[in-house]
Amino acid sequence: MSVTNRLKNQHLLWRAGFGPAVEQLDELNKYNPAQYYKALVKASDKKPEYINVAGDDLKNIYEISLDAGRKKNLTADDRKELNRLQRDAIKNLNLYWIKEMVTSSAQLREKMAFFWHGHFASRNNNVYYNQLLLQVFREHGLGSLRKLLKEVSQSASMLFFLNNQQNKKDHPNENFAREVMELFTLGRGNYTENDIKEAARDFTGWAANPKGEFVFKNGQHDDGSKTVLGKTGRLDGDEVLNILLDNRQAARFITQKIYRFFVNDSPDTTIINSLADKFYKSDYNISKLMEDIFTSDWFYNDKNIGSHIKSPIELLVGIQRMIPMKLDNDIVMMNLQRLLGQQLLYPPNVAGWPGGKSWIDSSTLMTRMRIPQMFADKDELNLTPKQDDDLMMGRKNNGTANVPDAIKKKAAAAGMVIKAKMDWPQYIVKFESVKREELIPQIKKTLFQVNTDVDKSLPSGIDASSREAYIKSVTIQLMSTPEYQLS
């Protein structure tokens, strides 16, 4: 496979962002990857604005609950309404972030935030805590890992998720201490059970108030002597985090995870060790590590291009960047995430999403390959996540056949019917100078990161009634192939 400048730039945009946007297609041959990466960095330099989706209704009832002392004086109806408003707000935060991924020029920032969201996986039903943690990822995801680790560790979302609120002197809770070693810094096997027990004592008293602010409760903190990874003293939580990062294994562990996410799921030990050594010596400068990756010659080796199975979010966002669209019902995007197995702000557990081949099985592959057609089809297509089958009254169906009109209306209201307004003109114009017989090869070069003869097996039913119809139908058919699942 010939690794052209265009292909390298597309590779960079898929890995350091969420794929090329339609308006970038004319630029792909003009600049080299180093120039493109410099532009990506510049676009992500500015501090992100805080995302706040909580409406006045939620704010008012939430503040009442704070004044009442953690909901004690709220009526049952108030509590029910508070929970409903929280769920709606978290949904809105999810959709807002998706739109940022699609439209923001700060692609590198959002992609790094997406990575850290999976690395520091946390799940919480309080939208304020979610907003605060998301801001940490977006603001510090390209900065110092020391700063990022501390901010995450002291976030209300993580402290509540990993039960550190219950970590008190004489009654230590080891949950956070275990995960910060196993999943966040060192990896399993690089610490002892005693290290966990001692570190848990160091994190006693770490808590957060209902507003999401970090609180150190001195009376609950164990101020005695402890030993963590061979370091002894009257340690506190901050010192333990630094001890973990002072261990070179943390640089190796995190670098390998970054390599597998951004480069190739098959680790190259020699490259990873070299990157980790530089990362450690830079005192964990994340931006420098990403620059070392994205400006290297080996990043653009043939073996790394098209080797990555797109996560559901990458797939959904990438399609929308190439063909801008507006969904009649935003809930569709939530249901698609659930169908495909990756819902933002709701990782499966503290280990996050495993990624790689776990995204693909016989069921999810067929669903993934149907999505472009779902967006483009003029008919209303029923989309029913398994857990929502109660709304369909047991009538699980991949289409809308034999489903009563009343049920269809309920499904549409719940976001189970995809109706997308696709903005084709700005995509089609990119191929206006391409000869008809060259359209399929050119569209392939735009959509695929792998070399393939898939055009030879395209269905004969492609709409050739006009040039515009031909480009549309070829694009949808190519997006509906296994090859498009790779980046």
Lowest mean pLDDT among 255-264, 324-333, 432-441: 324-333
CA gap 326, 312 in Å, rounded: 19
pLDDT tier at 407, thresholds 50, 70, 90: very low
Handedness of CA 131, 117, 416, 469 (dihedral sign): positive
As a whole number of angstroms, the distance between CA 117 and CA 141 comes to 10
In a domain, 54, yes or no: no
In the predicted model, what is the mean pLDDT of the chain? Answer: 91
The pLDDT score that the predictor gives to residue 1 is: 55
Q: Phi/psi zone of residue 250: left (φ > 0), alpha (ψ -120 to 50 degrees), beta? A: alpha
What average pLDDT does range 319-348 have in this prediction? Answer: 94
The arithmetic mean of pLDDT across residues 125-148, rounded, is 98
Instruction: Check: CB of residue 361 under 8 Å from CB of residue 338.
Output: no
- Is the pLDDT assigned to residue 382 strictly greater than 80? no
Nearest of 112, 109, 132, 107 to residue 122 by alpha carbon: 132
pLDDT tens sequence across 427-457: 999 999 999 999 999 999 999 999 877 776 6
Q: Are 467 and 437 in contact (CB under 8 A)?
A: no
In this structure, is residue 406 part of a structural domain?
A: yes
pLDDT recorded at residue 362: 83
Helix (H) or strand (E) holding 452: none
Which phi and psi (to 5°) does residue 371 adopt? -60, -45
Residue 303 has pLDDT above 50, yes or no: yes
Given a cut of 50, whether residue 381 has pLDDT beyond it is no
**DSSP conformational letter for 181:** I
- pLDDT bin (cut points 50, 70, 90) of residue 417 is confident
Q: Residue 461 is encoded by which pair of tokens? A: 């039913």
Please state, in angstroms and rounded to a whole number, the distance separating the CA atoms of residues 399 and 267: 41
pLDDT tens per residue, range 205-215:
999 998 999 99
The pLDDT tens digits of the residues spanning 159-172 come to 999 999 999 999 99
Q: Residue 387: its pLDDT value, please?
A: 46
Is the pLDDT at 328 greater than 80, yes or no?
yes
Q: Tell me if 360 is assigned to some domain.
A: yes
What is the model's pLDDT at position 363?
83
Q: What is the mean pLDDT of residues 417-424?
A: 90
CB count within 10 Å of CB 453 equals 7
Most confident of 90-94, 385-389, 407-411: 90-94
Which pLDDT score is estimated for 320? 98
CA–CA distance from 320 to each of 201, 302, 315, 377, 460 (Å)? 48, 26, 9, 15, 26
CA distance 429 to 486: 25
Domain assignment of residue 355, yes or no: yes
Question: Is the residue at 17 inside a domain?
Answer: no
Q: Residue 461 corresponds to which amino acid?
A: G
Are the beta carbons of 179 and 349 closer than 8 angstroms? no
pLDDT digits (tens, 9 = 90+) for 230-256: 999 999 999 999 999 999 999 999 999
| pLDDT of residue 419 exceeding 90 | no
What is the chain's percent helix, strand, coil content, to nearest 5? 60, 5, 35
pLDDT at 403 over 60: no
**Of residues 146 and 68, more confidently modeled:** 146
In whole angstroms, give the CA distance from residue 221 to residue 347: 30
Q: Is the residue at 26 inside a domain? A: no
At residue 409 the predicted structure's pLDDT band, cuts being 50, 70 and 90, is low
State the total domains in the chain: 1
pLDDT at 377: 82
Domain range for 381 is 324-422
Specify if 434 maps to a domain: no
Q: Look at residue 451 in the predicted model and tell me its pLDDT.
A: 84
Q: What is the pTM of this model?
A: 0.92
Confidence band for 388, pLDDT divided at 50, 70 and 90: very low
Q: Where are the beta strands (DSSP E) in 137-195?
A: none
Domain membership of residue 205 (yes or no) is no
For residue 412, pLDDT beyond 60: no
Q: Categorize the per-residue pLDDT at 397 as very low, low, confident or very high, splitting at 50, 70 and 90.
A: very low
Residue 106 clears pLDDT 70, i.e. is over it: yes
158's enclosing H/E stretch is: helix 156-161
- Indicate if the pLDDT at residue 458 is higher than 90: no
Least confident of 81-90, 210-219, 410-419: 410-419
